[in-house]
Amino acid sequence: MNRRNILIGLGVVAAGAAAGGAYWLTTSGTPLPGSPQAGAPAAPGATPAPAAADMPLFEDDRILGDPAAPVTIIEYASLTCSHCATLHKDTLPSVKKEWIDSGRARLVYRHYPLDELALRAAAAAHCIPGDAFFGFVDVLFQNQEKWSHSQDPIAALRQYAALAGLGPEAFESCITDDAAITRILEKQTDGRTRYSVASTPSLVVNGRLVVGALSYDEFNRVLEQAAGAAS
């Protein structure tokens, strides 16, 4: 997949998600074709997903937590989305402590890149093995302003990848890996088709679509409802 095809694929995503009020920003600061000019997130809230009882997982999914947990959270996020960073900084640490570490929930992370830089970052993360993947993703969200808004964001991203054990040559290979990029976009399309994901962050909790960077208290209520229904 060359650069032109990548941008075409992202343009299709932009057109499909325009009505969702997603966060959009290319590496140059110019919105992708078909995307809204404003960067406001969709209104936070929970709505029934089209396939409420159907949450198939893929063999290559990155999963954190007990496989037997009664609550499954699928997170769709873009690594350049400021609202996703807010979720990771303010809400998910408590979710991890109270729900994932206790075995009550598991988290499935899926990339939903909204610009080319996010796609490259997702491809780099794709190469990080095991649970180190989640550490790398968290570092990128915690330091999002530093690398995504730097003069050379790819160089900045390369430095964070190096800290995760990904050398310069491996990094370049990863961010240009056609198969990995295609797989990321396939999962993005699946999320849009199966759960009507149209903005980031979006989380699917036992089949229920939850949109926006909810506070822990708000998200905890959704999790409690899901746990109650699963018991």
Q: What is the pLDDT of residue 224?
A: 97
Number of domains in the chain: 1
Please report whether residue 24 resides in a domain.
no
Please report whether residue 138 resides in a domain.
yes
- Quote the domain boundaries for residue 152: 44-230
Per-residue pLDDT of 145-173, as tens digits, reads 999 999 999 999 999 999 999 999 999 99
Under 8 Å between Cβ of 22 and 114: yes
Average pLDDT for residues 59-75, to the nearest whole number?
95
* CATH number of the domain residue 66 falls in: 3.40.30.10
CB burial string 124-140: b at 16+ within 10 A, e below: bbbbbeeeebbebbebb
Per-residue pLDDT of 205-216, as tens digits, reads 999 999 999 999
Dmax (CA) for the chain in angstroms is 51
Please report whether residue 147 resides in a domain.
yes
Q: What is the pLDDT of residue 196?
A: 96
Please report whether residue 76 resides in a domain.
yes
Q: How confident is the model at residue 231 (pLDDT cuts 50, 70, 90)?
A: confident
**Which strand ranges, in their side-by-side order, compose the sheet holding 62-64?**
45-48, 208-211, 202-205, 71-77, 105-111, 62-64
Please report whether residue 3 resides in a domain.
no
Please report whether residue 38 resides in a domain.
no
Please report whether residue 30 resides in a domain.
no
Per-residue pLDDT of 177-189, as tens digits, reads 999 999 999 999 9
Please report whether residue 16 resides in a domain.
no
Residue tagged 């699946």 (tokens):
190
